[in-house]
Structure formats: structure tokens, C-alpha cells
Structure 1
Amino acid sequence: MTVEAPTLADPHDWLRRRSRWSVFEIAFWVASLLPFFLFQTYLPLASQIAITALFAVSVDLVLGYAGVVTLGHAMFFGLGAYSAGLISKAGWGEPLTGLIIAGLFAGLVGYIASFIIVRVQHLALIMITLGFCLLTYELANSMSWLTGGTDGLQGVETWPILGVFRFDLWGYAAYGYALAALFLGLVLSRRIVHSSFGLSLRGIRENVRRMPAIGSDYRGHLQKIYTISAVMAGCAGALLTQTTDTVSLDTLSFQRSADVVVMLVLGGTGRLYGAVVGTIIFMVARDQLSDMNPQYWYFWIGLLLMVVVLLMPRGILGSLAQLARRRD
């Protein structure tokens, strides 16, 4: 009797299956249009959520998929914000080109920084990324002649999108613009993580020392994803500038980097939509709790974070996916 050897699954076929759009994803994007019709008073908040979600997705690419723990990604967010603001102040307020230039500038800085990032690990990596953020913050603060310092950058004025859609107080154009950018960012991120490059990133996250043994250029992969992540973070910062016509030092603060890590923990790292879900929960909770208690609302955020970590250590989406697998 001949026993046939089990056939190995084709990784390309597995990636193709994973890259298909699920019903839940389509339902999410349909639901994202509801603020236009049902929650018009919350459109400014919704645009802020979309911008921050794009920033959270950029961090998830390096933290959740490549295992690069960073506490300084606000540096790229702030660089994108100031770049878009300075371009507009110089007399060119066209939003799309400003967005692209700001993202490319943040990506260039990210590429330069990646040569240091790939050479350190663990605690040293956290300290290096945090140091980058603090240095950039103090540099922007000291260069008040360029950045406005603690007063923020003044004179920012963004032109209508495509010369038609003007940014208004109600936030229709701002939300549509931010939502479109988030959608494109997620499409690009899905393409990355559901590719052979994405599999290499997962391998680096699980065991970086074994990757050279199978011929993987792990440093090159880390540099690529760190640069891509910096571009996305810079675009998120530019979106904030263009939709609010303001730039402040807060865009470069450590608090912004810490908040986005909290969002990823809430939603679940290594899951692109976990970054979006975590952002929605965090920012809606912050909006409601700050109205209830303007001084001590972080207490409730901390309590929420502790409950999620203790009961759902993989984050909300990660734990729900685990429950679904057990049920199946």
C-alpha cells in the first residue's frame, strides 16, 4: 500500500485568500459613510478619527507586523504636519500636492533614521525612537522663527480640494478627504501585509535571528517598512494641518506617540483594522469622558486599558478572532 506524502500548501494561494475583501470589511466602509447622513454634528470628530486611524495603521505596520517597538512615531506625524503648513504658508495651499510632498519628506527622514533603527533591539530601540521624537520636538520649539514655537505655525490656508470642495466649519470636505486617505492607506497596507514581503515581516517579528539563515535581508526589509510607515505617518500629519489650518508642537509630542500605542493595544496589534477600531474606541471615549470630567478623564482611559489587557490580551479584534476560531 502506497502512502502519499502530504502536499504543502502554496503560500501564494494562501496570500491570495487572505487578500480577498471580507463581508465585514465591506460593511465597515459602508458604515463609515453614515456620519454624512446621520451624525453631521460629529463630522469634525469623525475626520479626526480618520486621520488618527491612518497614523495608527502606520505604527501597526512596524509594531504589529515587523515587531519594531516605537515610542517616537509622532516625529514623522509632526514633520508631515509642519511640512504641509510651511508649504501652505509659502503660498502653495493645494492640498494633494502638499500631502504628497509632506509624506515624501517624512519618508526621507524615516529612511535616514532606519539605518540606526535596524541596528538596535528591545529597550535600546524604544529609547532611540523616543530620543528622536524628543529631539525633534525641542528643535521645533527652539526654531520659533520657522515653526512659531509654542504659539504654533500661523498663516496656514488650504485651498479647496481639486479646486471644488472647500473646507468648511461643518466638516463635510474634511471628513471625506480624511476618509479617502484612510481608505487608500489601508488598501496599500493590505497589499503589503498580504504579500511575500509581509510574510518576511512576520518572520522578523517572530525571530529576527533566524531570518538570515533562510537568506532574508531582514535589515533591508525593516528599512523598507519603516520608510513606508514614516510616509503614511507624515501624510496623516499633513491631513491634520490641511483640515484644521493649524500646526502646533503637540503634533511632535510624546503624548501623541503614547496614545497611538494605546489605540493599538485596545484594537489589537498585527491587525490593520485593529488600529482603526482602537482609534475609534479611544477617541470616542476621550470625547465623551472629557465632557464628563475634563480634569480626570485619563483615569477612565487607564481603567479601560487595564480591563481590555486583562480580559482580551490580544486586543479587541484579536480576541474576537480567537473566539471565532475556537467556535469553528
Structure 2
Amino acid sequence: MTNADVNQQPHAWLARQSRWSPLEIAFWLATLLPFYFFPTYLTLASQIAITALFAISVDLILGYAGIVTLGHAMFFGLGAYAAGLLSVYGWGEPISGLLFAAAIAGFAGWLASFVVVRVQHLALIMITLGLGFLTYELANAMTWLTGGTDGLRGIRTWPIFNYFRFDLWGYTAYSYSLAALFLGFLLSRRIVNSSFGLALRGVRENVRRMPAIGSDYRRHLQKIYVISAAIAGTAGGLLAQTTNVVALDALSFQRSADVVVMLILGGTGRLYGAIVGAVIFLVARDQLAGINPQYWYFWIGLLLMFVVLVMPKGILGGLASLAARRRGRG
């Protein structure tokens, strides 16, 4: 589908994009396989689901709206601390805790959006990076609240619906995280396959033309930034509830940088690219760290260079281009 097709038949294009393909259904059914074939890796699988949800939140603003960020871990960490502190102070119900985490992160995203939408390019990167550093150091200084470098302890997550307890093997954690990932994906899919999603693509492609067609692009960017922050906060809340601890690294620059690497690997502007990138990155990290705990990033760097040189649009983008060429030959 070309840009001309989208411009000429936007409603028909959106309708086609909204349909579920057999490959998508097969993909989500495959997420159930760890329960039966890899039960010893369910803890890792839950971390992948949480990170994939975080990657989707970044893809909404980076891949669809063109907002380049290196500080989105701020919202992930705020969500984690919000859910964790709610539990520490006596309320460990997980679903309301996730909603609280999303609300806190979304509010922070709304405050930050007034600054973020007014800058572009290098200034935008520096603003998001600076906000991330400020939040990290603030959490580090407020040891009475966050635990500082020792982390937030004393989190006790209640059973889901007072029935499903979080077990040591990760069955409940993975089920819970996978359900949250799927719901977050459904929301994000609905957004990007709507007229609002098309407006975001327009902002990404040419922000100067949007006012000429009567589009309030800053309001669009503010909306998606708040939604993205809320989803990132939900992912952070999931981390706090499934691990019962929140460390400072939830707010770290490393977490923000890692999720950008995942998007580059999987492909930006493709929601499944965020999930695929998270799976590849975390599985590679788990396996490579087992082989060489000190230098595993060297191999991640090689993988990243290979993908960028061979498939500049990411793995899913490269596969899509290959499929298009084969259809053209046919």
C-alpha cells in the first residue's frame, strides 16, 4: 500500500488495516506456547511481555508520531514506584494498582507534553534525556520514599481477583503480563488504525504541512504522548507487581536506550516490531549473558549493526520489503 493509496482512500485503507489476519492470530496463539514447552522460562517470558508493552508505548510516539525520546523510562519508573508505593502503604490489589500506575505516569506525561511538543530534533532528544535524568536523581535523593539505591522493598501483591496467587514458577505472572500486553496492543492497534493515527503519521512525515490543512498537530502530539506515558506506566506497574521490588534502574537511561534498540531491531512504526524486538533482545541477552556475563553487549552491538546495514527498517520492515518484491516478481 503506497502513500497515494492512503491519501485517496483513507477509510478503506483503515478498514483493511483493522482486519485481523491469520498470521496475527497465529502469533498471539504462539504466545501461549511457553506454558507447555518452556515452563522453566516463564519468568523470562513475563519480563519479555512487560518490556514489549513498554516498547509499544515508545513506538507510538517514535514510530508513529516522530517524537524521538531517550527518557521514556521516566514514565516506566514512575508507574513502577506508584504501584509499589500503593502496595507498601496497604493496598496490594493488582488491577487497581495498574490503573493507579497508568494514571500517575499519564499525568506526568501530560505535564511533560507541554514542553516536548514545542521542540524538535536535537532539542527534543536533550529535553527527554534531561527529564529522565532529573527524575532518576530525584528518586535517588528521596530515599525516605523510594529506598534510593537499595530499592523499594515491602511490596506485597494480592492474588488477582482474590484467587490467582503469584507463584515462584511464574505462571500467574506471565498470564497477567501477557493479558496486559494484549490489552495494551489492542488499544494501540485501534489508535494507529484510526483517523487520529493517520494524523500522527502526517505529523511524522511533515509537521509543517499539518497546520495548512487545519490540523492542530500539537494537540495530537500531546494526546499520544499522554497515552504513551500511561502505557509505559502500566508496564512499570507490572514489573513492580510481578517482582515485588522496584530498583532505581526502572528510571535509568539504560532502560530508555535498550527499548530504542529493540524498536530498531524489530522495526519502528510497526506494533509487532516492538514485540519482536523485545523478544529478540531479551532472549539474546539471557543467552549471551549466560555465555559471557561481561561482554554480552558486544554481540548485541554486532546484531544491531547487522540489522541496520542489511534491514534499515528493522526485521519486520525487511521481511515486508522482501515479500513486496516477491509479489512484484510474481
Same fold by TM-score greater than 0.5: yes
Residue 320 of structure 1 is matched in structure 2 by: 319
- Structure 1 residues 54-105: Cα deviation after superposition (integer angstroms, max 9, x where no partner): 0000000000000000000000000000000000000000000000011011
Amino acid at match of 1:271: R
Alignment gaps of 5+ in structure 2? 1-6
Amino acid at match of 2:100: I
- Offset at residue 9 of structure 1 (A): 4.1
Partners of 1:322 and 1:23 in 2: how far apart?
20
Partners of 2:318 and 2:199 in 1: how far apart?
24
How many residues end up aligned between the 2 structures?
A: 321
- Offset at residue 214 of structure 1 (A): 0.4
- Structure 1 residues 34-63: Cα deviation after superposition (integer angstroms, max 9, x where no partner): 011110000000000000000000000000
Partners of 2:262 and 2:304 in 1: how far apart?
9
Amino acid at match of 2:230: V
Residue 249 of structure 2 is matched in structure 1 by: 250
Partners of 1:50 and 1:22 in 2: how far apart?
21
- Offset at residue 23 of structure 1 (A): 1.2
**More deviation, 10-19/303-312:** 10-19
Partners of 1:154 and 1:41 in 2: how far apart?
26
Amino acid at match of 2:180: A
Residue 276 of structure 1 is matched in structure 2 by: 275
The aligned runs of 1:34-183 (5 Å cut-off) are: 34-183=33-182
Partners of 1:240 and 1:154 in 2: how far apart?
13
Residue 284 of structure 2 is matched in structure 1 by: 285
Amino acid at match of 2:56: V
TM, length-normalised to structure 2: 0.97
- Structure 1 residues 100-125: Cα deviation after superposition (integer angstroms, max 9, x where no partner): 01101100000010000010000000
TM, length-normalised to structure 1: 0.97
- Offset at residue 326 of structure 1 (A): 1.2
Matched, 1:219 2:212: no
Secondary structure, aligned partner of 1:37 = helix
- Offset at residue 323 of structure 1 (A): 1.0
The aligned runs of 1:5-44 (5 Å cut-off) are: 9-44=8-43
Partners of 2:281 and 2:9 in 1: how far apart?
39
- Offset at residue 246 of structure 1 (A): 0.4
- Offset at residue 195 of structure 1 (A): 0.4
Partners of 1:235 and 1:20 in 2: how far apart?
26
Partners of 1:281 and 1:300 in 2: how far apart?
12
The aligned runs of 1:175-254 (5 Å cut-off) are: 175-254=174-253
Give % identity.
75
Amino acid at match of 1:144: T
- Offset at residue 154 of structure 1 (A): 1.2
Partners of 1:10 and 1:53 in 2: how far apart?
32
Secondary structure, aligned partner of 1:250 = helix
Partners of 2:171 and 2:218 in 1: how far apart?
42
Partners of 2:48 and 2:24 in 1: how far apart?
17
- Offset at residue 10 of structure 1 (A): 3.1
